[in-house]
Structure 1
Amino acid sequence: MDQRGLRKSGRQILAAAALGAAVLAAPPSGAQTREELAEARALFQEGVALSAANNCAAALARFHAVASVRRTPQVLFNIAECEERLGRLVSALGNYRIAAAAAEGDPRAKDVTANVGARIEGLELRIPKLAIRRGQGALTATILLDGSALGAAQMSADIPVDPGPHVVSARIGDREVVRETVTLEEGDAKTVEVAITEPPTAPAAVASPRDAAPPAAGPRPPPARPSRVPGLVVLGASVASGAVGGVFLGLRAGTLSDLDALCGGDTSCPPSARPTADRGRLYTGVAEVAIGLGVVGVAAGIALLVTSSGPAPAAPRAGGAAIRRAAGEGAGRAAVVLQAPGADLAGLSVAGSF
């Protein structure tokens, strides 16, 4: 604004201040008390002074306070003028129009009527226009301008906006799919087409606790392998038992030799041979028991080792026939028979006569 414009604006401010003071000084209506009107006149004078000092933000606060007590055409005109100087052109245009309608036919608002028309015409040329149109994929989207949703009437016409940046966005449900910033200068006219390229996504279904899958169980720990110690102990004891059986088999063989010598090479033995025969029966019984326990223990020990360390070859099977062969080998004329009928000690009997 040049110096001439400043002088002209100053004269208008002073004229409005004088007229506003005169209006506020009018007899009070039933809605306001004298104290309220006196305070409103003081605030109006402060607003005029602040506006003349180019502190429009503070002046605007004073004028709004006055309007809450008495909304005269002069107060509305000053509010619109402050908003115009602050760049709030759209709001200023609205207040100028309200001031013009309030001043119509009011003899005390002739100054407002004389000036408000030119202000309205000037602002209509300066206010930028923004047209927002729906493009591809935006037919059902919610379109927003600076965070406010636009209706069908606003989407079909040019929207007056203040100069500066403005945000055009689109939402599908609660999700923002388009956001664009448009900057306009005074007198600009722009068109923004909102197009949505990504397909809308259906809202995720909320699973109820009843439908929720149970938490996946963690892997079970592998079962502990049985200890090999019992198998080794049983196997060792069985080998020892077999060794004892072998010792007694050796003693048995010596006894058979002695018995053969006493019996003279036939089946008739003298009474003196009975202790030797009894000893032979004892050795045979002990050997049979020890070897039998050893064989059974070896099988059990191998079975325990197999179950604790994996598959293993089957334990060798040994039958009574092998024992009988081992016991019978090298027998002399005096026949010592295992499991003979009428055996009296561990299945051992001596065939002969005493």
Structure 2
Amino acid sequence: MNTARHALSAACLSSALAAAGAAAAAPDPAQASFDQGVALMEAGRFDEGCPAIEQSQKLDPRPGTLFTLAECEALRGRTATAIARFDEYLALYPTLPPKQQRNQGDREQSARKQREALAREVPGLRLELPPDAPPGTAVTLDGRPLAPTAIGALLPVDPGKHVITAQAPGGPAFERSVLVEKGENKTVALEVTAPPPPPRQPPPPPPSESADGAAGGTGSGAAGAPPAAPAHGAGDGGRRVAVYLAGGLGLTGLVVGGVTGALAMERKGVVDRNCAGAACNREGKTAADAMKALGLASTIAFGVGIAGAGAATVLLLTEPKPTSAGASGGAWIAAGVAPVGSGGAALDVRGAW
């Protein structure tokens, strides 16, 4: 291992010296970062040297810098990252012009050998979600989001500690740290907590009377629902008053009809004593006229009395029974007295039930 490391260090040093010589006339940040990274790498400070070389590659991408970065990551112990860098170099090498390929020397063969040796040491990590994980659950590995196709697959990782998170849309994040060793394959079952259900909204309050009035008939008609039936008892007072009025009117009519009828009979006796056929003296004629007037009044009073009593009776008999709040009620009735001819009256009752 020491012999290989010394050989690797010598190769890196020669690459660094060649690059430094080429850039001596025109120093730039990429070259300065590369020189610093190689110096730290030679000192065994890989955790500082590799990031410096990586920065140089970002500033000025070059095949030699990429190859040196792959070797640094391998010495650092980040086997999966080193393999990824060697793969980048091997994919780039065939695209180089022949002259530039010759300048690379034996780096292609070295990259293949080192990659093959590292592949046996690369650990793998398989992440599994529960079957009931909601769609859209996000999974990250060391802060990097993973594609859905990566879930359940064996992912090459560097040896050491890794942090995995899983989070359902709108739910809390689940986080777990795992430690993997060289050549170890580990499966991690992730936990996912669904978001809490939204708070239940209280039912809207029933529309007030004023709101109904503001809405007008258009809103009610659009809904297609009949107007709410009044609660039982809302019209009972009016019906009872009508019964009392009709009954009182009927009783008064009957009393008046009886009194006027008695007076008319009394006048008939006077007419019989003072009239002979159609010829009457003064007293007889006066009694005859009074008898006709009283007879007509008695007839009308009896008619009104009968009509009032009948109306009161009908109202009582047709009084609606209590109904539930949702039952439809369309029963109605109306009664009255209508005159008939010159001296008669009739009870007029109309309704539906």
TM-score (norm. length: structure 2): 0.49
User: Does 1 or 2 have the higher relative contact order (CA < 8 Å, sep 6+)?
Assistant: 1
TM-score (norm 1): 0.49
Which of 1 and 2 has greater Rg? Answer: 1
